[in-house]
């Protein structure tokens, strides 16, 4: 019979850290930074509140870590191809619908006037702009709208129907859409947007 060995301290520490981050995402997305409480985070993470401070020093530092980790997930999980922006929009729509906690976290970030910029995000954003600009120069992408406008418009379209958007509902009061129908509309809208001004 194989002997079972206890987890190493480093493994326990990492497990505790991940529980804290998951608990903090739930807390911050529900209450924002100002309304979040470290004791609730510790209770949800099943650890001592002092341990939360040992790992993250302050509530602000924990909030920043949660935000940056989850924004990094977006860039990792959503593949970007400058000549297939409708597909990019569809995947972003899916991600937004599947991750309401993250959408609420980003909404709180805006409401509380906190910057969601960080080094990786800025680097990848600039890379996307450069790729879009090159595609336009080579007539692989419509030239009617600037790269910056296209990125903002696509992201706005793809996330407009999340629960945190004041206008975001699967019903606009007249037409009622299923999520799959709405996704198809978003993809088609981006196809039209990005083909405007494209050379035949």
pLDDT, tens digit, 9 for 90 and up, residues 22-49: 999 999 999 998 899 999 999 999 998 9
Lowest average pLDDT, out of 12-16, 24-28, 57-61, 113-117, goes to 113-117
Domain identity same for 118 and 178: yes
Which domain does 48 fall in, by range? Answer: 1-69
Q: Are 64 and 99 part of one and the same domain?
A: no
- Which of 48, 69, 90 delimits the end of a domain? 69
- CA within 13 Å, CB half, 116: 19
167 lies in the same domain as 137 = yes
Task: Write the CB contacts of 1 (distance below 8 Å, at least 6 apart in sequence).
Answer: none
CA dihedral 162, 163, 167, 171 (to 10 degrees): 90
Over residues 103-109, the mean pLDDT reads 85
When mean pLDDT is compared over 8-17, 21-30, 99-108, 162-171, the highest value belongs to: 21-30
From residue 91, alpha-carbon distances to 94, 154, 176 in Å are: 5, 11, 22
How far is residue 150's CA from residue 3's CA, in Å, rounded to a whole number?
58
- The residues facing 176 across adjacent strands are 171
**Could you say which of 40, 69, 98 is where a domain stops?**
69
Residue 2's pLDDT is what? 46
Are residues 86 and 154 located together in one domain of the fold? Answer: yes
Of 69, 91, 123, which residue is a domain's last?
69
Helix, strand, or coil (residue 112): coil
**Number of folded domains in the chain?**
2
pLDDT digits (tens, 9 = 90+) for 46-95: 998 999 999 999 999 999 899 888 887 777 778 888 889 999 999 999 99
Together in a domain, 31 and 3: yes
Instruction: Return the half-sphere exposure (C-beta side, CA atoms, 13 A cut-off) of residue 182.
Output: 21
Residues 43 and 88 occupy one common structural domain = no
Do residues 183 and 116 both lie within one domain? yes
Same domain, 82 and 34: no
CATH number of the domain where residue 8 is located? 1.10.357.10
Q: What's residue 173's pLDDT? A: 53
Name 171's bridge partners: 176
Both tokens of residue 165? 């958007």
Residues 114 and 162 in one domain: yes
Do 172 and 194 share a domain, yes or no?
yes
């Amino acid at each position: 019979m194989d002997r079972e060995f206890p987890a190493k301290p480093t493994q326990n520490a990492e497990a505790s850290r991940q529980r804290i981050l998951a608990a903090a995402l739930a807390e911050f997305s529900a209450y924002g930074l100002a309304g979040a409480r470290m004791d609730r985070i510790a209770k949800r993470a099943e650890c001592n509140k002092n341990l939360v401070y040992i790992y993250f020093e302050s509530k602000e530092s924990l909030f920043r870590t949660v935000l940056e980790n989850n924004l990094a997930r977006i860039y990792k999980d959503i593949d970007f191809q400058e000549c297939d922006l409708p597909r990019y929009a569809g995947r972003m729509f899916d991600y937004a619908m599947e991750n309401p906690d993250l959408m609420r976290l980003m909404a709180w970030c805006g409401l509380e006037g906190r910057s969601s910029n960080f080094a990786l995000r800025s680097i990848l954003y600039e890379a996307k702009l450069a790729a879009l600009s090159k595609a336009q120069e080579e007539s692989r992408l419509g030239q009617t709208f600037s790269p910056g406008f296209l990125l903002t418009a696509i992201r706005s379209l793809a996330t407009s129907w999340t629960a945190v958007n004041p206008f975001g509902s699967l019903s606009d009061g007249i037409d009622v859409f299923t999520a799959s129908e709405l996704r198809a509309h978003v993809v088609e809208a981006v196809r039209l947007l990005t083909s405007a001004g494209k050379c035949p």
